[in-house]
Amino acid sequence: MGLFIAVCCTLAWFLADIAARQYDIALLPYWNAAVRFGFFSIINFLLVSHRQAYVREQQLARIDGLTGIYNRRFFLELLELELERTRRYHQPLTLAYLDIDDFKLVNDKLGHSSGDRLLQTVAQTLKETVRSCDIVARLGGDEFAILLPQIDSQQAAIALTRTHHQLKKISQSNRWPIGFSMGAITFNTPPPSTDALIAQADQLMYAVKGSGKNRLECQEYS
């Protein structure tokens, strides 16, 4: 589109130029038109490059480089928006925290490349087993979060049970010596802040880790 506009501008200027004045050298208006087109093309290239760089930097600020899902920073922004929407429309909201049990064993026994592949597989599995409107993020290390807006506790439990089952199935097929501790809280009444929401989900996840690991526990907050 930019090149098309450059051609149109060059042609319009060329026609106006030859209509307004006479040139002693016949090729001079064509030379001027070529220079103008080159100038317009360079400006177009610089603008496109600048826009692509901006989009790329914006993506890097939002996406976890290893797994390709949202990072912690952008997840917190989305969480704030969803919490505001929950308050406005009085709809339930479910937040799940996931921690990979004994993840260090994979790095120690199988190498860091296997650990990276495990994190990528977990991220992909989370995306594939939840709805397209749900938000999946890597919070750092081997911790992940799933935000399920507009879903009650029963529906959330069904969806997350399916996710947890699929994670265990993939772990067994790859012979990874790990488990998955997941805690999920459905809020029917919005908490006062995102910090309070996160704190409860995080506390529940660590309670799961402290009571046997490798399972899912769902709670409802009224």
Average pLDDT over residues 156-183: 95
The DSSP bridge partners found for residue 181 are 99
3-state secondary structure of 221: strand
What is d(CA 33, CA 12) in angstroms, rounded to the nearest whole number? 10
pTM of the model: 0.76
User: What is the percent of the chain where pLDDT is above 70?
Assistant: 95
Please spell the DSSP secondary structure of 86-136, one letter per residue.
HHHHT--EEEEEEEEETHHHHHHHH-HHHHHHHHHHHHHHHHHHS-TTSEE
The DSSP bridge partners found for residue 145 are 97, 137
Average pLDDT over residues 14-23: 75
Active site amino acids: 142
CB half-sphere exposure, 119, CA atoms < 13 A: 24
- Alpha helix segments (H runs only) across the chain: 2-20, 28-62, 72-89, 103-110, 112-129, 153-174, 194-209
Please spell the DSSP secondary structure of 189-201, one letter per residue.
S--SSHHHHHHHH
Q: Binning pLDDT at 50, 70 and 90, where does residue 54 land?
A: low
- Beta-carbon count within 10 A of 33 CB: 17
Give me the pLDDT at residue 167, please: 97
Q: Over the stretch 84-142, which tens digit does the pLDDT of each residue have?
A: 999 898 899 999 999 999 999 999 999 999 999 999 999 999 999 999 999 999 999 99
Give me the pLDDT at residue 10, please: 83
Q: Binning pLDDT at 50, 70 and 90, where does residue 58 land?
A: low
